[in-house]
Amino acid sequence: MNNIKNQETIKPSSPTPLHLNRYNLSYMDYKSPNIHYSSVFLYKNYKKDDINRLKKSLSKCLTQYYPFAGRLPSASASQYIKCNDEGVVFLEACVDFPLQDLVLNRDPDETKIKKLVPNVGNESNRVLEVQVNHFSCGGVAVAVSLSHKVADGLTMAYFVNHWATVTRGGSPINPTFVSAPVRDDTTTTTTNVHQDDQPVMKKVPSKFKCTAKRFVISNSKLANLKNKINSMAAGMSPTPMNPSRVESLISLLFKSAVNAAATTKKAGSFQPSNLSLTLNMREKVGVSTVPLRYAVGNILNLAVARMDDSSEIELDKVINRLRKDRMEIDGAAVSRDVEELGEMFFKKRTGLRQDQSRRTYSCTSLCNLPIYKVDFGWGKPVRVILPTDNWNDSSYFIMMDAASGDGIEATVILKEEEMTLFQNDKEFLAFVQD
């Protein structure tokens, strides 16, 4: 077990100005579930004296990321954050298993990973927590947990990089906070939303027993997969499809998962299925008074490929449907602001959840984000792990760059009986690294 040896609260190095003491959540942030997603950064070598530098640099960063040091008035339905400088809980723990258990094992024990992250319930009103874990072998794991009410994957990646940059003595990029309209605290609607009477979205645990497995697909295998897809699409268009590596892999994961689900059914029947890919919309939103590239929060939408028949589950067809929906989303975003984007997102997401006749496989890609550039002065992390305990879903794919820099690491979450078939799918195995 891990042993918490120290706990303290890190507050901003300078007090937050009074005119910034309330941060109004955007419509999308407000409606998002209060789940704390974590990232764990593993380093082989460090100096224990450096932990004080981590604390000091975190304190400096909190003057810029001032809402992270505040509190949610209500854990479940807050419309704003009280930026009261109550601070961030900073834990230090000793770990009784070697760092190599997490570095060398492609699919490390989830119970070990869980020990490395702050134990934060969904009813917590805190926004950010940090836990530094000391391994007896001399390594260290820095775990950062952020509430989904104020952060998506890009926010997490840039915040931790900014913190690491300040620790090394550099200056971070200043984040942008989008000013949301003031809402009547007694209602659940924005000033420009008329049709929305739904409550804040909550994470609904899967009713099935699920399991998570990690797979690595090298760049050479991804190139082979891309060539295969180009060959499949050659007869449909005079120009090559040239799918990205994310498009190539997500189509393969989806096809293999759908086939596994159909095989587990008594009659081997196909269920109409959706593939939903989360999109970063920061540079697509056309109506904004501030640049959004480093904007904090959830600025997202969903590209969805709807497949009605088993004959449609072909890699090139899946990609074509995703691209078509994505083009429509990008076109609509040009005339929208962040609040309107949130309305679009939740209308689409609610429709997917309410359609019980179809199964939706969701995908989040963190590829090309600077998560392997997080250097606190100890070099780049030897591995970054995303705990899956809060991704409790029976149909989910999470993609990130491989630790080696060669390819993509895909975390697949499926029903247990489906995972057995999925990980033995011949088409999928042809591209998976041993």
Give the DSSP letter string of 359-371.
Answer: EEEEEEE-TTSGG
Which residues neighbour 108 within 8 Å (Cβ) at sequence distance 6 or greater? 101, 102, 385
Residues 163 and 274 in one domain: no
* Backbone torsion region of residue 309, taken as left when φ is above 0, otherwise alpha when ψ lies between -120 and 50, otherwise beta: beta
- pLDDT value at position 191? 39
Residues 224 and 90 in one domain: no
| Start-to-end C-alpha separation, the chain | 31
Residues 216 and 161 in one domain: no
The answer to the question of residue 232 being in a domain is yes
Residues 52 and 147 in one domain: yes
Which residues neighbour 192 within 8 Å (Cβ) at sequence distance 6 or greater? 181, 339, 340
Residue at a domain's end among 167, 186, 201: 167
The answer to the question of residue 184 being in a domain is no
Tally of domains within the chain: 2
Residues 162 and 215 in one domain: no
Residues 119 and 245 in one domain: no
The answer to the question of residue 414 being in a domain is yes
The answer to the question of residue 199 being in a domain is no
- pLDDT value at position 8? 96
Radius of gyration of the chain from its Cα atoms, rounded to whole angstroms = 22
Residues 221 and 160 in one domain: no
Percent of the chain as helix, strand, coil, to the nearest 5: 30, 25, 45
Which residues neighbour 88 within 8 Å (Cβ) at sequence distance 6 or greater? 9, 10, 11, 58, 62, 68, 69, 126, 127, 128, 129, 130
pLDDT digits (tens, 9 = 90+) for 369-386: 999 999 999 999 999 999
Residues 257 and 119 in one domain: no
The answer to the question of residue 70 being in a domain is yes
Residue at a domain's end among 167, 198, 225: 167
Residues 267 and 370 in one domain: yes
What is the extent of the structural domain holding 80? 3-167
pTM: 0.92
Q: How buried is residue 82: exposed, middle or buried, by Cβ count under 10 Å (0-12/13-18/19+)? A: middle
- pLDDT value at position 268? 64
Residues 145 and 236 in one domain: no
The answer to the question of residue 127 being in a domain is yes
Write the CATH number for 267. 3.30.559.10
Residues 153 and 89 in one domain: yes
pLDDT digits (tens, 9 = 90+) for 235-267: 777 778 999 999 999 999 999 999 999 988 766
* Backbone torsion region of residue 335, taken as left when φ is above 0, otherwise alpha when ψ lies between -120 and 50, otherwise beta: alpha
**Which has the closest alpha carbon to 176: 66, 23, 295, 17?**
295
Q: Which helix (H) or strand (E) holds 414?
A: strand 408-415
Low-confidence ranges of the chain (pLDDT < 50): 185-199
**Residues 381, 386, 390: CA angle, nearest 5 degrees:** 155
The answer to the question of residue 408 being in a domain is yes
Residues 135 and 252 in one domain: no
Residue at a domain's end among 133, 167, 201: 167
The answer to the question of residue 187 being in a domain is no
CA distance 35 to 121: 8
